[in-house]
Amino acid sequence: MPEKDLRVELLSLTPNALELIFAAFRQCYHAGFVADMWPKLLSGEIDKDKQDQFVSKILESGHDSPIEHVSFTFAIEGISRACSHQIVRHRIASYSQQSQRYVAESDMDYIIPPAIKKIPEARARFEKFMDEVGSAYNDLREILVAAGRESKANEDARFVLPQAAETKMVVTMNCRSLMHFFNLRCCQRAQWEVRIMADKMLKICKEEFPAIFRHGGARCEQLGYCPESERFACGRYPTLKELTENK
């Protein structure tokens, strides 16, 4: 039952992403049919820098629905079930997660919170409990198999598994959903594990598609102030109340 490290890999990005979003934006403001423009976009007749500038300018106006036409697909491993429960709350996305019903957890990997890891006594107790869970899981599976529930042993024994259990998943989100995801999950108030994962995803998005994600991240970075109340603000940016009171 070893500790598992986080890994985020990009599996797929919609082909011709910049051209597609440029075409979608142009159709909103163009009298003609963008399908006639498409061959020019693919051939490079319309400069990519001009496409980038046009898309950025429209995004600054607050018009962002056309970026939904482009999606990213990530493979993620080394996150806890506690983290995956947070991720799947983002509804405009597609998820495929490793099943504890069909995949045996006989040698369960797990995630240790940093606050526990840095305290030797806490880490020792945590790891001892993980060993106890693993032992209970394997004992239950053996008992269930012996009782004739071999095909169902995993799905019943899994009830003792903790939220620390490591999981793997494939996640697909369109750019608009990703921007919202980063607004919330890159915030300092987000839970540490999902924030680290979101930061890794954002780094990939910025490298692959800077036209959209160069300003991605916590909401405060785009607004220039913290949208939280004074009670919840981390202090990195002034709150809106502080800004208005200082004017």
How far is it, in rounded angstroms, from Cα 20 to Cα 139? Answer: 54
Inside any domain, residue 105: no
Q: Does residue 91 have an active-site annotation?
A: no
How far is it, in rounded angstroms, from Cα 194 to Cα 117? Answer: 17
Is residue 40 domain-shared with residue 54, that is, in the same domain?
A: yes
Inside any domain, residue 207: yes
Please, are residues 13 and 70 in contact by the beta-carbon 8 Å criterion? yes
Inside any domain, residue 106: no
Is residue 204 domain-shared with residue 87, that is, in the same domain?
A: yes
Is residue 18 domain-shared with residue 80, that is, in the same domain?
A: yes
How far is it, in rounded angstroms, from Cα 28 to Cα 34? Answer: 10
Is residue 116 domain-shared with residue 195, that is, in the same domain?
A: no
pTM to 2 decimal places: 0.93
Is residue 9 domain-shared with residue 118, that is, in the same domain?
A: no
Please, are residues 57 and 130 in contact by the beta-carbon 8 Å criterion? no
Mind listing the pLDDT tens digit for each residue in 87-102? 999 999 999 999 999 9
* Domains in the chain, number: 3
Chain centroid offset of residue 41 CA? 30
Please, are residues 225 and 239 in contact by the beta-carbon 8 Å criterion? yes
Inside any domain, residue 200: yes
User: Which of 26, 176, 185, 195 is an active site residue?
Assistant: 185
How far is it, in rounded angstroms, from Cα 78 to Cα 6? Answer: 4
Is residue 170 domain-shared with residue 232, that is, in the same domain?
A: no
Inside any domain, residue 184: yes
Is residue 142 domain-shared with residue 202, that is, in the same domain?
A: no
Where is the domain boundary, 146, 164, 182? 164
Range of the domain at 171: 1-100+165-216
Is residue 82 domain-shared with residue 157, that is, in the same domain?
A: no
Is residue 174 domain-shared with residue 190, that is, in the same domain?
A: yes
Is residue 150 domain-shared with residue 240, that is, in the same domain?
A: no
Mind listing the pLDDT tens digit for each residue in 164-212? 999 999 999 999 999 999 999 999 999 999 999 999 999 999 999 999 9
How far is it, in rounded angstroms, from Cα 54 to Cα 56? Answer: 5
Collapsing DSSP to helix, strand or coil, 101 comes out as coil
Is residue 194 domain-shared with residue 206, that is, in the same domain?
A: yes
Inside any domain, residue 84: yes
Mind listing the pLDDT tens digit for each residue in 60-89? 899 999 999 999 999 999 999 999 999 999
Is residue 59 domain-shared with residue 148, that is, in the same domain?
A: no
Q: Which of 91-105, 133-147, 213-227 has the lowest mean pLDDT?
A: 213-227
